[in-house]
Amino acid sequence: MSTQVIAKDGDSLCGIAIAAGFLNCAALRAEGANSALLSRPLKAGDIVTVPDLRKKDLSKPTDGKHSFKKKNSPPVSVRFVHGSPDKKYLDDTTLTVLDVSNFPTDVGGSVGDAAGSFPTGFGFDQHGHDDVDTFKVEVHDPGAGGTVNAKLEAVKPVKQADGSIQFQPITGVPDADLRKIDTLQCKQVASGNIAFRSKYMRLVVDQQDHDAAAGQTLLTADAVDAGDETLEILDQRVRATYEFSRCPASPKCNVTAELDIGENEQRAKVSVHILQDPATGNALATVDQARKSVLKYVRQLYAQASMGVKIIGTIRNVLAPTNLIAIANANGQPAVGGGTIQIRVQVGKPGQATFDFDQTVQVVTNANDPPVTTANNLAAAINAAFAAATPSFAATATPSGNPPLVGQAIGSADVLVGDPLTQNISLSVLASGDIAHPAAIGRILNTNIPDFGNNDSHVGTIEERTLVKNYDTGSDHIDLFVIGTLGSTALGEAFIPNASSAATRQPITSMVNSALIFAQTVTTTDHFHTTIPHEMGHILMDNNHALVATEMMGAGSPVGANERVVNGPKRISDPVPPRTIGFTGGFQGNPVTMLRTDNTGVIDPW
């Protein structure tokens, strides 16, 4: 009497047939009750009718021992493995997740050693084994021999009408052919063995890495440039499919294995601000360019660390501000006392030729006052003038102290006046009578921003403070500013927490977790494309530069503007202990661990 089996995801007619004792699915396909299931893959809930097995009598002598071999034992299957130097093949651990490779694709072994090229043969190889992210596709088929072929592909989640998620091949993008390998050869591991394995494989995120080890790489990139900004690298899966060698159908029944990409995924949070050229009023990049660059470049590099990016708030254009008053900028001295500081404050509407508020405000310094006290007094005087206006004027002066420069005992202080996004603000120093507390106006006059050096890297230049303090949106995420260029010709720089340093070496709340990047990395495709993730990396790792040329956190670019090349600085190493990567200042660490754990306040779970 026939029986009925309820199919599960991944089931096939051959699989159900073999489990019931048949050689293949021929008997199930001949069963009329299954006619509606023959032209499509099985899905969960399908009812499959399994006919009775037909017994066969064999004539054998009764006084001997006879061996009978089950032709489909163990069942046909496919799985992902890493391999090992000493385990039997069937005893090897089945992988439960796959990770994007941290290695230069054409290199085997560990970064910095002499391991040589990535192995191109079948079988165990120490140079391939040393990269823990390599994997192999393993097929079990007792009915096959020599070499079999599997299919390997990246698949994406697609929400169905009923709310469920199905993973489907990635099509309709220019690089779709790089996201699959239709004929992945798997060679018999040993004569007479039912296990077949592919060569060492790696997951990669750009075509240059894909082409560097053709046939042994699978592209798992985003699709921002193809018009799909929602496709996350770490939301994809990798699917291996093997067709039953003995299946009589066309197409044949198959078995599949499917693994997630990444583990314990996280997202770095970032807000993006695009500076407008004060000479022309034009933004230095479009919102579209900035968004796409952040999404694709951070996703592509940070996938090595199972991380992505979350854009906080709306990407906005910001006016070049001219509204900061600095007290004792960079001199680190207390006031002499008795000096008059006199500031003309003019505030009006944007684009308006005249000012609605135009007054001169002054304070007299007190001997031995630190700059922040003088700044507090000046801000109070300006706010009093706003309040006393008829009618009172809706603007605010906000003071803030800065940490001391290296080698100094006290820091400077600043006063922000008004809101440059909604007001036209002009400040003029009419008197600066205390030699120890000179007043200076912070203005962004062009798109080139003078940048900090070693002594003020935790403070910033007056121009950097004018920009960042005005548009800071919180220290629980990264504020990323797109500017023209930096005075030193650097591609970017970041205000890192310096959490392990003394408080006097740590940026204040309105400056910390901020970064400036040059506009061309946003406006020109793949032009120093690691700049954004590199500067964000300084903040996330709370550290300076790595000493390995291929590291994302290396200083400068040893390969020029096209950092896509295989030996470009786009790797985030994850060395197996006790190995580490060296950083400037003698620090040693694991870059992946540092990126994920050293500044968790700007990171969200996936």
Q: What does the pLDDT average to over 293-305?
A: 98
**How confident is the model at residue 65, as a pLDDT?**
65
Q: What does the pLDDT average to over 142-161?
A: 94
Mean of all residue pLDDT scores within the chain = 94
CA separation for the pair 50, 136 (Å, rounded): 34
CA separation for the pair 150, 183 (Å, rounded): 6
- The predicted-structure confidence for 81-101, as pLDDT tens digits, reads as follows 999 999 888 889 999 999 999
Check pLDDT > 90 for residue 246: no
**How confident is the model at residue 68, as a pLDDT?**
45
Could you tell me if 261 and 236 are in contact, meaning their C-beta atoms sit under 8 angstroms apart? yes
**How confident is the model at residue 9, as a pLDDT?**
81
Q: How confident is the model at residue 111 (pLDDT cuts 50, 70, 90)?
A: very low
- CA atoms lying within 13 Å on the CB side of residue 551: 27
Q: How confident is the model at residue 59 (pLDDT cuts 50, 70, 90)?
A: low
Could you tell me if 361 and 378 are in contact, meaning their C-beta atoms sit under 8 angstroms apart? yes
**How confident is the model at residue 423, as a pLDDT?**
96
Check pLDDT > 80 for residue 23: yes
Q: Tell me, what DSSP letter sits at residue 378?
A: H
Check pLDDT > 80 for residue 113: no
> Cis omega (within 30 of 0) on the bond before 41?
no
Check pLDDT > 80 for residue 513: yes
Could you tell me if 148 and 122 are in contact, meaning their C-beta atoms sit under 8 angstroms apart? no
**How confident is the model at residue 486, as a pLDDT?**
98
Beta bridge partners of 260: 237
- CA atoms lying within 13 Å on the CB side of residue 292: 17
**How confident is the model at residue 112, as a pLDDT?**
46
Residue with more model confidence, 9 or 384: 384
Q: Residue 144: which of 69, 76, 241 has the closest Cα?
A: 76
Structural tokens at position 326: 């600095």
Share of the chain above pLDDT 90, in %: 86
Q: How confident is the model at residue 129 (pLDDT cuts 50, 70, 90)?
A: very high
**How confident is the model at residue 57, as a pLDDT?**
59
Q: What does the pLDDT average to over 230-243?
A: 97
**How confident is the model at residue 71, as a pLDDT?**
58
Check pLDDT > 60 for residue 407: yes
Long-range contacts of 545-551 (CB under 8 A, 24+ apart): 545/583, 545/584, 546/581, 546/582, 546/583, 546/591, 547/581, 547/582, 547/583, 547/584, 548/111, 548/112, 548/573, 548/581, 548/582, 550/104, 550/111, 551/581, 551/591
What is the DSSP track for 484-531?
SEETT--SEEEE---TTS-GGGS--TTTTTEEEEETHHHHSTTSSTTH
Q: How confident is the model at residue 542 (pLDDT cuts 50, 70, 90)?
A: very high
Q: How confident is the model at residue 10 (pLDDT cuts 50, 70, 90)?
A: confident
Report CA Rg, the chain. 32
- The predicted-structure confidence for 166-214, as pLDDT tens digits, reads as follows 999 999 999 999 999 999 999 999 887 889 999 999 999 999 999 999 9
Which element (helix H / strand E) includes 212? helix 207-212
